[in-house]
A and B are shown apart, each in its own frame.
Chain A
C-alpha cells in the first residue's frame, strides 16, 4: 500500500537543494508512529545536548506544519523569521543553535494551518531550499506523527544531500508499538537507516514514596522486545518525569535545569549514542575526497 515518491524529482531542483545543504554535515530525522510520545521533546533536547559544548553548529528544523511545538519548547514563541539577502534566516537560541518552524510564520498562537498535503510539501521544500542554514554540523528534523506527506517530502528533498539516519520514539505500550512497527517499515521502504529506538515515558517514580508505576504498561514486552524482534538498536529508556514537561512549557532545557535526574542522564546517554553513530557514518563527500 505504498505510494513512495522520490526519483521523480527534477534534476535542477535536486541540484538547488544539494547546493543549499552543502554545508550540512549530519542529518538526523526524529520519527514516531504515534502522536504525543515525545518526539519534539527529544528533538529539542538532542539539539540542546549537541550544542552544549559550544563547538558544534546545530540546526533544528520543525516540519510539523499543523502542530508546531518547537518554538514554545525552545523558548522562542512569538519570534518571527527574518528575510536576508541569502534567504530566510533561522531564529537563534544560542549563536550555535538555529531553529526553523512554521510557528515563526504565524501571526497569532490561535492561527491554524489548515493545509492539505501539497501546500505542506511546498513549505517543507522552502525550509530546505530558502533558509540560510550556513555551515551546520548537525541538522535535526522534528516531524509530525505518521507516514504521510511530511515524511515522504523530507526524505525526498533530503535525498539530494544525505540523511545519517532516523531516531524513532515510542512509549512502552502496544497501542504505540503497533504504530512504531509501521514507522520502521516506512524507513525500510524509503531506505532511511535507523539509528535506533528510544522508549519514552517508561515508568513513573512517585516523588513521595519513590515507588514505580507503569502508567503506559509494556504489555507486549515494550520497545526492548520489539527491537530484538526487528533487529534494531534500543538507544535507551527515559522515565516519565513531570519536570520534563514543565521545562518544555517554559522553553528551557531540561538537561541544564535538572541535570542530575535519572531522565537527564538517560537523555545524555542517548544523545551520546546518536553522536557516535553519526561520527561513524561520515558524510559521503568526505569519503569520496
Chain B
C-alpha cells in the first residue's frame, strides 16, 4: 500500500532537468555556484529548485536568507521553502528541519542515507525546469545515496567545482572517477576563486593560483565552463542572502557566473531539439 502511494506520488515527475554540483574538496564554492546558477536560471525565466544534501553543513538556506523558514507537510509530502512570491525558486535543506540553527547533525551514514532518500522522494516540487542538487564535499554516503536515489529520474549530469590550486584539482580528479564509476555525465568543470582583482589598485593576484581547473578539463576531455574570480561583492552578497545576479551586473564575477548558466541552457536546448 505504502509503496504504491510513494510511486503514485512521483514528486520528481514534473522536474525536467536534474543536475548535481559536486567537488572533491570542501569550501571551493559548490553552494555558491548552486545559488548563482539558480538565480541566473530564474533570470532567464526558469523555475528552479535546489535540493541541499549537505546534512552537516547546509549553506543554502542562509545564502537565500530564508534560514528561519520551516517546511510544512502536505498530502504529497514536504512543501519546499519558496524564496519569492512568484515561487520561482524553491529550496529543501536539513537546515529547515533543525530546532536550533546551531544544532549539530551528528549522524553516521545509514541515518544520512535514509534522510536523503526521503528528500528525493517526498518533496513536492511541482513543475520545475531545473532541480539543482548541492552536495557536501567528497565521495561518500551522501553522494552514493543521492546518485542511487536519483538514478530512475535520469539526471542530466554533474557540474564539478574546483579552485585552481593543485591540492584542490587533485580532489576533483577523484570526483571525475566517481562520476565515471556511477555513470554520471560530467557537464563540465568550473574553476572558482581564480584570481583576485584588488579594489584599490586593480592589480590581479592569483591567491589560489590559476588555470588548474581548465588544464584538468582538457586533460579529462570534459567541457570547461569558465573561471569565476574571487569577488568580495559575491561573498558579501551571499552573506546577506541577496540576488547577486540582479544587483551586481558590473561586478567581476558576474560574466562568468551568467555564462555558466547560459552553457547549461544551450546544452539542454540542443539536446531536446
Partner of B201, one of A148, A211, A215: A211
Question: A72's closest neighbor in chain B, by CB?
Answer: B167
> Does A209 reach chain B (CB closer than 8 Å)?
yes
Q: A34-B57, A174-B239 are in contact. Are A114 and B178 (CB under 8 A)?
A: yes
Could you tell me if A110 and B177 are in contact, using CB atoms closer than 8 angstroms?
Answer: yes
Which residues of chain B are near A10, meaning CB under 8 Å? none
Which residues of chain B are near A145, meaning CB under 8 Å? 26-27, 56-57, 136-137
Which residues of chain A are near B240, meaning CB under 8 Å? 219
Contacts A35-B57, A114-B178 known; list 13 others, CB within 8 Å.
A35-B28, A66-B138, A67-B174, A72-B166, A112-B181, A114-B144, A179-B59, A184-B102, A242-B206, A242-B208, A246-B209, A249-B165, A249-B167
Question: B110's closest neighbor in chain A, by CB?
Answer: A117
Number of A-B contacts (CB under 8 A): 220
Partner of A3, one of B106, B140, B199, B203: B106
Which residues of chain A are near B111, meaning CB under 8 Å? 3
Question: A186's closest neighbor in chain B, by CB?
Answer: B104
Which residues of chain B are near A206, meaning CB under 8 Å? 198, 200-201, 203, 205
Could you tell me if B205 and A148 are in contact, using CB atoms closer than 8 angstroms?
Answer: no
Could you tell me if A149 and B108 are in contact, using CB atoms closer than 8 angstroms?
Answer: yes
B234 to chain A: closest CB distance in Å?
Answer: 10
Which residues of chain B are near A146, meaning CB under 8 Å? 56-57, 136
B104 to chain A: closest CB distance in Å?
Answer: 4
Q: How far is the CA of A174 from the CA of B198 in the complex (A)?
A: 22
> Does B215 reach chain A (CB closer than 8 Å)?
no
Contact-residue size bin, chain B (C-beta under 8 Å from the other chain): 35 or more
Which residues of chain A are near B177, meaning CB under 8 Å? 110-112
Could you tell me if A216 and B104 are in contact, using CB atoms closer than 8 angstroms?
Answer: no
Contact-residue size bin, chain A (C-beta under 8 Å from the other chain): 35 or more
Which B positions have Cβ atoms within 8 angstroms of A? 24-28, 31, 56-57, 59, 62-63, 98, 101-113, 136-141, 143-144, 163, 165-168, 170-171, 173-178, 181-182, 196, 198-201, 203, 205-209, 230, 232, 235-236, 238-240
A-B contact pairs, 23 of them (CB 8 A): A3-B106, A33-B56, A34-B27, A36-B26, A37-B26, A67-B25, A72-B170, A114-B139, A115-B139, A144-B26, A173-B235, A173-B239, A175-B59, A181-B102, A182-B102, A182-B103, A182-B105, A208-B203, A215-B207, A215-B230, A217-B236, A219-B240, A242-B207
Which residues of chain B are near A242, meaning CB under 8 Å? 205-209
Which A positions have Cβ atoms within 8 angstroms of B? 1-5, 33-37, 40, 65-67, 69, 72-73, 109-118, 120, 144-149, 151-152, 171, 173-176, 178-179, 181-186, 189-190, 204, 206-209, 211, 213-217, 219, 240, 242, 245-246, 248-249
Q: A207-B203, A213-B200, A242-B207 are in contact. Are A66 and B174 (CB under 8 A)?
A: yes
Could you tell me if B104 and A147 are in contact, using CB atoms closer than 8 angstroms?
Answer: yes
Which residues of chain A are near B200, meaning CB under 8 Å? 206, 209, 211, 213
Partner of A248, one of B165, B171, B182: B165
Q: A1-B107, A249-B165 are in contact. Are A148 and B56 (CB under 8 A)?
A: yes
